[in-house]
Amino acid sequence: MHVQFCSIVPPYLLRRLAQQDAPGFSSAASAARNALGHVQSFQAARAQAVPVLPPGLRQVKPGPVNRTIYDAGGEEALPGRLVRDEGGQATGDAAADEAYDGLGHTHRLYADAFGRDSVDGRGLKLDATVHFGKLYDNAFWNGSQMVFGDGDGDVFQRFTKSVSVIGHELAHGVTQYSAGLAYRNQAGALNESMSDVFGALVEQFVKNQSAAEASWLIGEGLFTPKVQGLALRSMKAPGTAYDDDVLGKDPQPDSMDSYVRTSADNGGVHINSGIPNRAFYLVADALGGYAWEAPGRIWYETLTNGSLPAAATFTVFARATARAAADLFGADSPEHDAVGAAWETVKVKV
């Protein structure tokens, strides 16, 4: 399988922002053009092969977290200057300390809820770089580490502010080392959706929130007060996360009835992910309680049990979640029924 450069801000949103000439947004437009060029340059680069984790290794006993935080100092060279390693004192730099805490929260979710030993299942050291670039409007997983920009200050604030963003990006590593879902078309939308699912679960886990208490927002708190919007995406109600004069309206569909066919954004990976996102939310809502328990176990099992092809479609994935629910809880269980009903609601055949 191959490493992909996976970033949290969709290219279509950066493209819209890059074209803006509204008063007060010139720095944001310039920052968006830089971030967009960065995304495009990474996507054009040759992917690097990495080993896929054999399914049997999912059951190893998780070890302790091992985190290292670096500071790029406004440059774009990685990893940057070491500022905090595992067990080290807080730095007083909000971005560095938020990244350190977010990596820890994510590691703890996988260890406690799923018995996974870090991102790769083998105790991978978790590295992150903060203060990447100047006014950099993104956060990304580059195949081996996390990278966070500080935002432009007009539209985006620093990207470490959202635990769901940190969880989202690290989940790309989990997908990379397990199912290896291709980053294009429906498989790519599933890749993005898995990251939203586990990003949301990290946030809910650290806040001890039930499915009913959670916001189901990805990237909540990233926007400045200038933006009319709550977050980058809503899993509960795709298409409602923002509606802004500068950014436009959230384009995510909430069912196959409004599936977006496009060649942009690797075939709409950040747009159509709203469909499987809503399916997961519906399962969690139907079952109640903590979403990292039954719903999270079903999705995690589906991702890591070796049954998904790299080019999985929504239908292939939906059927795999139904099989996982039956294997874990029984074919006549409320969990299996909830999975079937959720995919039916978003118009994906099981």
Residue 335 annotated as catalytic: no
CA-to-CA separations, 23 to 26, 79, 226, in angstroms, rounded: 7, 35, 12
- Distance between start and end Cα atoms, the chain: 26
Helix (H, G, I), strand (E, B) or coil at 45: coil
- Going by C-alpha positions, the residue among 17, 88, 313 that lies closest to residue 193 is 313
* 169: annotated active-site residue: yes
Q: 3-state class of 146 per DSSP?
A: strand
Residue of 197, 189, 332 lying closest to 270 (CA atoms) = 189
- Reading the block at residue 226, the tokens are 């200038």
From 38, 105, 168, 270, active-site residue: 270
Lookup result for tokens 């070491």: 82
Catalytic residue among 98, 169, 203, 335: 169
* H or E element that contains 83: strand 81-85
In angstroms, rounded to a whole number, what is the distance separating the alpha carbons of residues 148 and 129?
A: 6
- For the chain, how are helix, strand and coil distributed in percent, rounded to 5? 45, 10, 45
What single-letter DSSP state applies at residue 240? Answer: -
Residue with tokens 């947004």: 25
Angle 52-57-61 (CA atoms, 0-180°, nearest 5)? Answer: 135
Catalytic site positions: 169, 270
